[in-house]
């Protein structure tokens, strides 16, 4: 039986989620909610759901399994806390857009509330719900990477000074850390997914002259060096339309180890794998011809239905709450790293240790037998 879903926030992202739910056999979109009545009414008509203009009314009148929170707000996350906490309080499972919040204390409260209530809290960290990431993880699990040594991640919007157009939105303009808070959830989620928890962060943030001349305070260029718990190191470069990227396009993720390396290009499009030396070979003895996975997928939007389906699967399969993919705790980790980035930037690139995540309790059923 399909899971009954209600969506809160019906702007562009909310409509994208709605399209995914209406096309997924595990989902039945029964309600849509937005304080802007026209958005709710238009979505209700388009998707065959009931319109609400107040979340409390939707939660009171609908027998929902899942509340999908697609609100935005200041720095793309200030309107997540109230709907998430209200849904959790009513015992609903929640999928929330990224970043989980623009406030670290609110994020911590959301994760704690979901844990105490025993409901699923997931976040739309959709960049590793792809065929390329699946194959890359296979390489890692099969030992073809070996001991992880490094990762290099580049993510941003291609652009430059001629295409610059300062945003005057009250949700963006005037916030120096907008890009850092709104954007780093995705790259940090990738780095942690493949390489584990981050223990040390060193960061520098800047902006090009054309932003300064326009009075734009956004720190849109981020250079971030990290150390993982495993001892591996990583580097992240992100920028928001300030420059043109070269090889790898707008998005590339490379991880190398003692036996091999892989690189994903443009998130969902291509994956390359290079095998390292074999026993008896001299280091660098032969040309390395990579294995290539070309998915043929060019539309980044295809990451949304894949991620949303995974959350529906986890709820439908009744996985242990800590085992939900791209969980609230995972999203909290990305925000803890983001806060460490800001602290490092404010202290001239000092090394910062992110706050510890809430401990995992473990599934008692996994240890029976």
The answer to whether position 328 is within a domain reads: no
The answer to whether position 66 is within a domain reads: yes
pLDDT at 220: 98
Considering the domain architecture, whether residues 149 and 92 belong to the same structural domain is answered as no
Give percent helix, percent strand, percent coil of the chain, each to the nearest 5. Answer: 35, 25, 40
Considering the domain architecture, whether residues 204 and 101 belong to the same structural domain is answered as no
């928890």: which residue's tokens?
197
Tally of helices (H runs) and strands (E runs) in the chain: 11, 14
Q: Write out the E strands in 276-352.
A: 291-294
Q: Which residues lie across from 3 on neighbouring strands? A: 27
CA-wise closest residue to 322 among 83, 118, 107, 87: 118
Task: State both tokens at 351.
Answer: 């090394």
Considering the domain architecture, whether residues 75 and 151 belong to the same structural domain is answered as no
pLDDT at 136: 98
CA 267 from centroid of its chain's CA atoms? 12
- Give CA–CA dist 199/363, Å, rounded: 25
CATH of the domain at 14: 3.40.50.720
Mean pLDDT for the stretch of residues 60-73? 96
- Give CA–CA dist 233/227, Å, rounded: 5
pLDDT one-digit tens code per residue, 258-298: 999 999 999 999 999 999 877 766 655 567 789 999 999 99
Q: Write down the mean pLDDT value for the chain.
A: 96
Considering the domain architecture, whether residues 166 and 87 belong to the same structural domain is answered as no
The answer to whether position 260 is within a domain reads: yes
Considering the domain architecture, whether residues 199 and 339 belong to the same structural domain is answered as yes
- Number of independent structural domains in the chain: 2
- Give CA–CA dist 120/128, Å, rounded: 19
Domain span at residue 54? 3-124+304-321
Task: State both tokens at 294.
Answer: 């070309």
pLDDT one-digit tens code per residue, 345-355: 999 999 999 99
Mean pLDDT for the stretch of residues 144-151? 98
Considering the domain architecture, whether residues 50 and 113 belong to the same structural domain is answered as yes
Mean pLDDT for the stretch of residues 33-58? 98
Considering the domain architecture, whether residues 11 and 151 belong to the same structural domain is answered as no
Q: Determine contact, residues 153/263, Cβ cutoff 8 Å.
A: no
pLDDT at 276: 87
Q: Say which range, 115-124, 195-204, 317-326, 360-369, has the weakest mean pLDDT.
A: 360-369
- Give CA–CA dist 311/126, Å, rounded: 11
- 155 sits in which H/E element: strand 148-158
pLDDT at 367: 72
pLDDT band at 247 (very low <50, low <70, confident <90, very high): confident
The answer to whether position 242 is within a domain reads: yes
- Give CA–CA dist 121/328, Å, rounded: 5
Question: What pTM, to 2 d.p., does this model score?
Answer: 0.96
pLDDT at 100: 98
pLDDT at 178: 98
pLDDT one-digit tens code per residue, 318-341: 999 999 999 999 999 999 999 999
CATH of the domain at 230: 3.30.360.10
pLDDT at 308: 98
Considering the domain architecture, whether residues 224 and 246 belong to the same structural domain is answered as yes
The larger pLDDT score, comparing residue 47 to residue 366, is at 47
CA-wise closest residue to 80 among 89, 70, 90, 88: 70
């Amino acid at each position: 039986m399909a899971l009954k879903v209600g969506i809160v926030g019906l702007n562009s992202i909310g409509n994208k989620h709605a399209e995914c739910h209406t096309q997924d056999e595990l989902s039945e979109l029964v309600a849509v909610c937005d304080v802007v009545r026209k958005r709710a009414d238009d979505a209700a008509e388009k998707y065959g759901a009931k319109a609400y203009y107040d979340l409390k009314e939707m939660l009171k009148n609908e027998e929902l399994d899942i509340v999908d929170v697609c609100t935005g707000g200041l720095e793309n996350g200030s309107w997540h806390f109230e709907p998430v906490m209200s849904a959790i309080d009513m015992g609903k499972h929640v999928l929330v857009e990224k970043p989980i919040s623009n406030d670290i204390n609110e994020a911590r409260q959301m994760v704690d509330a979901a844990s105490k209530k025993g409901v699923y809290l997931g976040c739309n960290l959709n960049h590793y719900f792809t065929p390329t990431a699946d194959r890359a993880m296979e390489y890692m699990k099969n030992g073809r990477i070996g001991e992880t040594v490094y990762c290099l991640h580049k993510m941003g919007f291609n652009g430059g000074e001629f295409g610059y157009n300062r945003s005057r939105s009250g949700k963006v303009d005037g916030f120096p850390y907008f890009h850092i808070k709104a954007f780093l959830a995705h790259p940090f989620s990738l780095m942690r997914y493949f390489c584990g928890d981050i223990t040390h962060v060193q960061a520098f943030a800047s902006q090009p002259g054309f932003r300064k001349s326009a009075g734009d305070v956004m720190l849109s260029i981020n250079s971030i060096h990290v150390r993982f718990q495993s001892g591996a190191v990583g580097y992240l470069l992100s920028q928001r339309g300030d420059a043109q990227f070269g090889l790898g396009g707008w998005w590339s993720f490379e991880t190398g180890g003692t036996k091999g390396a892989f690189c994903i290009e443009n998130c969902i499009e291509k994956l390359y794998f290079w095998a390292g030396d074999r026993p008896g070979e001299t280091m660098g003895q032969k040309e390395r011809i990579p294995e290539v996975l070309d998915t043929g997928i060019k539309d980044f939007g295809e990451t949304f239905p894949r991620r949303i389906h995974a959350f529906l699967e986890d709820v439908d399969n009744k996985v242990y709450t800590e085992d939900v993919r791209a969980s609230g705790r995972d999203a909290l980790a990305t925000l803890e790293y983001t806060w460490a980035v800001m602290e490092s930037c404010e202290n001239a690139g000092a090394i910062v240790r992110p706050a510890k995540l809430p401990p995992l309790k473990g599934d008692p059923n996994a240890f029976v037998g």
